[in-house]
Amino acid sequence: MNDRDDRYDVIVVGVGGMGSAAAYHLADRGLDTLGLERYDIPHTKGSSHGITRIIRRAYYEHPSYVPLVERAYELWDDLAEDTGRDIIHRTGSIDAGPEDNAVFAGSKRSCEKHDIPHEVLTGAEVNERFPGYALPEEYRAVYQPDGGFVVPEQAIIAHTEAAQANGAEIRARERVRNWTETNDGGVRVRTDRGVYIADALVLAAGAWNYKLTDALEGLAVPERQALGWFQPETPATFTPEKFPVWNLSVPEGRFYGFPVYDVPGFKIGKYHHRQEDVDPDEFSREPDREDETVLRDATEKYFPDAAGPTMGLSTCLFTNSPDEHFILDTLPNHPQVAVGAGFSGHGFKFASAIGEVLADLAMTGESDLSIDLFSLDRFE
């Protein structure tokens, strides 16, 4: 702890999925922590909402993610147990596509490399076991029984309350204007309400991160996304007990989805929905008919029993890096500033572990977890 009342050990900018976890881990280690969030906690303006987020051990994006997701599972279970909140649900997960497609082949490779329990199924076998699916019979799928979903709003609340219980100060509705380095190597953060000083800084502002440091210009690009909820014709088929979460690569693109949970409707989304890079402060947040059509057409084709009346539509933001791998590092010219960015639509499942990594980086500049894949210097 620092003995000056007007100075913190660490300031966290953004108290969403990643920032709330970072604030918790920092406070849990006894550091005097301030979290600053421009919107509510939680809110629906960025990337950390939508009721359900997939978590899966079978990770086709790159086998290097598997140790990180293993740690995330441990921390989600701990957080749920410690707080009593409904955070993680295991439904099983399906990663499917043509046999030579990266979704299936990469998922299978990760399972084999890391000895993750799984089954390889044909599309026909998936359809028979889980009647809500109507995959092409010749497709291949990896079924992993420990896959499921995290409830993002509950996760953020749990991390925030746990951080506060450990002494963190959390301020919502306070927008960060800028930050500068102090003469003694700390940071000075200016908001629309005041000025704060700390020894270290964590930038976890999601789609707004690139506006807080030139180092992320062109490397953390916000993209408009849309989600749809459609009422199943046979609701009992799409409950969490009977319907695994899924990733599916088809000619129309790469889609993902969930069972019915907490709100009416089967949930579906498409990666890079309409390929709309946006300014997070200036884009259309209201879903439109074209958004709905993209999602309904895929539902009618691959999950026809779920293609009933529309129950809800929502937008959110992905923040994409050029290679769609995360950015977890300290800034090149500011080693006291840790950044978590570029989660590219597949980051929330890792939030509990990423918070731990960001706390490590803020404290020592390195982490015991393997994060070489996520360094900033890979873009040089």
Residues 140-152 pLDDT 10s: 999 999 999 999 9
CB 230, CB 282: distance < 8 Å: no
Where among 266, 285, 317 does a domain terminate?
Answer: 317
Q: Model-level pTM greater than 0.85?
A: yes
Interval 240-276: pLDDT, tens = 999 999 999 999 999 999 999 999 999 999 999 999 9
CB 240, CB 91: distance < 8 Å: yes
Residues above pLDDT 90, as percent of the chain: 96
In a domain, 302, yes or no: yes
In a domain, 80, yes or no: no
Q: 3-class secondary structure for 56-112?
A: CCCCCCCCCHHHHHHHHHHHHHHHHHHHCCCCEEECCEEEEECCCCHHHHHHHHHHH
Q: Which of 100, 114, 111, 135 is nearest to 247 (CA)?
A: 135
Q: Which of 55-69, 131-145, 263-277 has the lowest mean pLDDT?
A: 55-69
Asked if residue 163 and residue 32 are part of one domain, the reply reads yes
CB 328, CB 354: distance < 8 Å: yes
Asked if residue 280 and residue 363 are part of one domain, the reply reads no
What is the pLDDT at residue 74?
Answer: 98
Phi, psi of 117 (to 5 degrees): -60, 130
pLDDT at residue 321 greater than cutoff 90: yes
Active site residues: 49, 52-53, 267, 272, 316, 349
Asked if residue 254 and residue 212 are part of one domain, the reply reads no
Query: How many domains is the chain built from?
Result: 2
Mean pLDDT of 301-312: 98
Q: Which residue has the tokens 């890391």?
A: 114
Asked if residue 309 and residue 235 are part of one domain, the reply reads yes
Strands 33-36 and 169-171: parallel
What is the pLDDT at residue 128?
Answer: 98
Mean pLDDT of 229-240: 97
Asked if residue 241 and residue 133 are part of one domain, the reply reads yes
Q: Which of 225, 187, 190, 188 is nearest to 206 (CA)?
A: 225
Asked if residue 126 and residue 251 are part of one domain, the reply reads yes
Helices (H) and strands (E) in the chain, counts: 7, 20
Give residue 22's identity as a one-letter amino acid code. A
The domain of 292 spans 92-148+223-317
What is the per-residue burial (b if ≥16 Cβ within 10 Å, else e) of 82-104? ebebebbbebbbbbbbbeebebb
Asked if residue 302 and residue 337 are part of one domain, the reply reads no
Asked if residue 373 and residue 272 are part of one domain, the reply reads no
Interval 76-102: pLDDT, tens = 999 999 999 999 999 999 999 999 999
